[in-house]
C-alpha cells in the first residue's frame, strides 16, 4: 500500500511541473523577442488543454483503466519536455512543448485524483488527496528554484531535468499494481454520459465550484503583487526567496495542514470551515492596513489550499460509480483559471482593489455549496 501511494504521489509531483509556464513567459519574451501579448499564448494553451482533453480522458479512464491513462499522460508530458531538448529555435516549438505538457498534465489530473481513492484506505481519500496537492505544490516550486540556480547557465536546462523526473515516474507507474475500486455499471462512460451528469443540480454546483475556485486562486495570485505595490509600495516577492510568492507559500502550508486536520475532522465540516475562512481572508484585503492585508493574504492561502481536493473527494465519494466521468468534468472546470483572471484584469484597469470582488463572490458561492454539502451528508444523500 505504501509503495503504491508513493508512486501516485510522484505523479502529483510531475503535475506541478505544469506551472513552469509562468516561469517561462519572461524568458520567451527575451529569447524570441516577442510581445507580451504573444507570450501570453503560453499560459493560454496550457489551460486550453484542460478544456479540450479532460472529459475525453475521463471516458478513456473508464474504458481502459486509470493506470493506462496515467501512462498515456506521462508519455505526453515526456514528449513535451523532449521537444525543446531537440530544438527550441522557434517560438512555435516552445508553444507546442507547453501545449503537450499541459495536455499530458490534464490527462494526469483526470486519472491521478481519483486513483488516489483506489490506493487509499477507507476514509483516507480526502486526507491523502490534500497531501497529494501539497506534493504537487512542491513540484510547482521546482521551476522558480531551478531557474534561480541555473539562470547563469541556460534556462533551457530545465527541460532535461523535468524529462528525467517524468521518465522515472513513468517507470514507477509502469510497474504499479493497481486494483481499481469499481462499481457495477451497465454501460461504459461516454462524452454524452459525462455531460449528462451536469443535469444533477448538486454535481453542477460542485463543478462550478471548481471553476470559480481555480479562477479565484489564479486571479488572487496574479493581482496581489500589483495590489500591494499600489497600496503600500511593497513588492510581494520581497516576502519570499527565489521569486516564490507569499500567497503560493501559504497555499502549500494550507494543503499540508489540511492533510493533518482531516485525520480528525470530516471532509464535509472541513469544507464548510475552510470556505468561511476563505471569505474572511478576502474581506480582509479590503481593509487598507498593511498588517491586516498581509495577514489576510496568508489566511486566504491557508483556506484556499484545500478547496480543490475537498470538492473533488467529497463528490467522488458520493458518486463512486461515476468517478471517471466526474473527474473529467472537474478537471475540465480548471479552465476557470484562464477566464476569471481576465475579468479581474478588466476591473483592475479601473480599480485594483475592487478586482477582488470577483474572488469574494466566488468564495461566497463555494461557502453556499459547502452548506448544501453538509446538509446532504447529514441526510445521507
Q: Where are the domains of the chain?
A: 1-177, 189-381
The pLDDT assigned to 146 comes to: 66
CATH topology of domain 189-381: Growth Hormone; Chain: A; (1.20.1250)
Would you state the cell numbers that stand for residue 287, as one nine-digit string?
481593509
Positions of the chain with pLDDT under 70: 1-3, 22-23, 25-26, 36-37, 143-154, 180-187, 234-245, 380-381
**pLDDT of res. 190:** 80
| Number of C-beta neighbours around residue 90 at 10 A | 10
The pLDDT of residue 221: 78
Same fold across 1-177 and 189-381: yes
N-to-C CA span, the chain: 30
CA distance 358 to 348: 11
Hey, is 323 helix, strand or coil? helix
**pLDDT at residue 82 in the model:** 94
Helix axes 357-378, 307-318, angle to 10 degrees: 30
pLDDT of residue 36: 64
The Cα-based distances of 309 to 68, 139, 267 in angstroms read: 23, 17, 10
Q: Which of 180, 203, 215 is nearest to 326 (CA)?
A: 203
Q: How far apart are CA 77 and CA 16, in angstroms?
A: 12
Assess contact for 254 and 308: CB atoms under 8 A. Answer: no
Q: Are 55 and 73 in contact (CB under 8 A)?
A: no
The Cα-based distances of 154 to 129, 244, 380 in angstroms read 35, 20, 56
Please tell me the distance from the alpha carbon of residue 311 to that of residue 300, in angstroms, as a whole number: 17
Cα dihedral sign for 29, 32, 35, 41?
negative
DSSP 305: T
Dihedral of the CA atoms 235, 241, 244, 246 (nearest 10)? -60
- Residue 2: per-residue pLDDT: 63
Residues whose CB is less than 8 angstroms from the CB of residue 290 and which lie 6 or more positions away in sequence, other chains included:
231, 232, 234
The predicted model scores a pTM of: 0.83
CB 69 within 8 A of CB 111: yes
Residue 19's CB is within 10 A of a number of other CB atoms, namely 20
Q: Return the HEC string of 92-135.
A: HHHHHHHHHHHHHHHHHHHHHHHHHHHHCCCCCHHHHHHHHHHH
Among left, alpha and beta (phi > 0; psi -120 to 50; other), residue 243 is left
- What is the CATH T-level fold of the domain 1-177, as seen in this structure? Growth Hormone; Chain: A; (1.20.1250)
Quick check: 339 and 218 in contact, CB under 8 A? no
What pLDDT is stored for residue 239 in this prediction? Answer: 43
3-state class (DSSP) for residue 233? coil
The confidence score (pLDDT) of residue 240 equals 36
Q: Are 370 and 275 in contact (CB under 8 A)?
A: yes
Identify which of 203, 234, 164 has the alpha carbon closest to the alpha carbon of residue 13: 164
Per-residue pLDDT at 273: 95
Task: Give the pLDDT of residue 359.
Answer: 94
Nearest C-alpha neighbor of 331 from the set 107, 159, 174, 11 = 107
Contact of 26 with 113, CB cutoff 8 Å: no
CA distance 98 to 96: 6
* Cβ count near 151 (within 10 Å): 11
What pLDDT, in 10s, does the model give residues 89-119?
888 898 899 899 989 999 999 988 888 888 7
Alpha-carbon gap, residue 295 to 283, rounded angstroms: 11
Answer whether 296's CB lies under 8 Å from 249's CB: no
Amino acid at each position: 500500500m505504501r509503495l503504491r501511494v508513493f508512486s501516485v504521489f510522484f505523479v502529483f509531483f510531475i503535475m506541478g511541473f505544469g506551472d513552469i509556464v509562468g516561469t517561462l513567459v519572461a524568458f520567451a519574451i527575451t529569447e524570441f523577442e516577442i510581445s507580451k501579448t504573444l507570450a501570453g499564448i503560453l499560459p493560454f494553451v496550457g489551460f486550453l488543454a484542460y478544456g479540450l482533453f479532460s472529459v475525453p480522458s475521463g471516458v478513456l479512464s473508464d474504458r481502459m483503466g486509470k493506470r493506462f491513462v496515467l501512462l498515456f499522460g506521462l508519455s505526453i508530458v515526456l514528449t513535451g519536455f523532449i521537444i525543446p531538448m531537440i530544438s527550441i529555435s522557434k517560438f512555435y516549438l516552445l508553444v507546442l512543448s507547453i501545449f503537450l505538457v499541459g495536455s499530458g498534465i490534464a490527462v494526469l489530473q483526470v486519472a491521478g485524483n481519483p486513483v488516489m481513492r483506489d490506493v487509499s484506505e477507507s476514509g483516507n481519500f480526502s486526507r491523502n488527496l490534500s497531501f497529494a496537492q501539497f506534493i504537487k505544490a512542491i513540484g510547482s516550486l521546482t521551476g522558480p528554484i531551478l531557474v534561480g540556480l541555473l539562470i547563469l547557465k541556460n534556462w533551457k536546462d530545465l527541460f532535461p531535468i523535468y524529462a528525467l523526473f517524468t521518465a522515472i515516474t513513468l517507470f514507477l507507474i509502469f510497474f504499479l499494481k493497481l486494483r481499481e475500486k469499481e462499481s457495477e455499471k451497465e454501460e461504459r462512460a461516454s462524452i454524452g454520459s459525462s455531460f449528462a451528469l451536469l443535469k444533477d443540480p448538486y454535481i453542477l454546483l460542485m463543478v462550478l465550484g471548481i471553476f470559480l475556485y481555480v479562477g479565484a486562486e489564479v486571479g488572487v495570485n496574479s493581482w496581489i503583487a500589483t495590489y500591494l505595490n499600489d497600496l503600500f509600495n511593497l513588492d510581494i516577492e520581497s516576502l519570499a526567496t527565489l521569486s516564490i510568492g507569499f500567497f503560493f507559500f501559504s497555499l502549500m502550508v494550507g494543503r499540508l495542514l489540511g492533510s493533518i486536520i482531516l485525520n480528525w475532522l470530516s471532509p464535509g465540516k472541513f469544507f464548510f470551515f475552510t470556505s468561511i475562512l476563505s471569505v474572511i481572508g478576502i474581506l480582509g484585503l479590503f481593509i487598507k492596513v498593511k498588517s491586516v492585508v498581509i495577514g489576510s493574504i496568508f489566511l486566504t492561502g491557508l483556506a484556499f489550499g484545500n478547496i480543490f481536493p475537498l470538492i473533488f473527494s467529497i463528490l467522488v465519494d458520493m458518486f463512486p460509480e461515476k468517478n471517471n466521468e466526474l473527474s473529467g468534468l472537474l478537471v475540465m472546470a480548471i479552465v476557470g483559471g484562464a477566464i476569471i483572471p481576465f475579468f479581474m484584469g478588466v476591473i483592475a484597469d479601473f480599480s485594483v482593489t475592487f478586482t477582488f470582488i470577483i474572488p469574494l463572490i466566488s468564495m461566497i458561492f463555494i461557502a453556499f455549496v459547502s452548506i448544501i454539502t453538509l446538509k446532504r451528508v447529514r441526510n445521507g444523500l
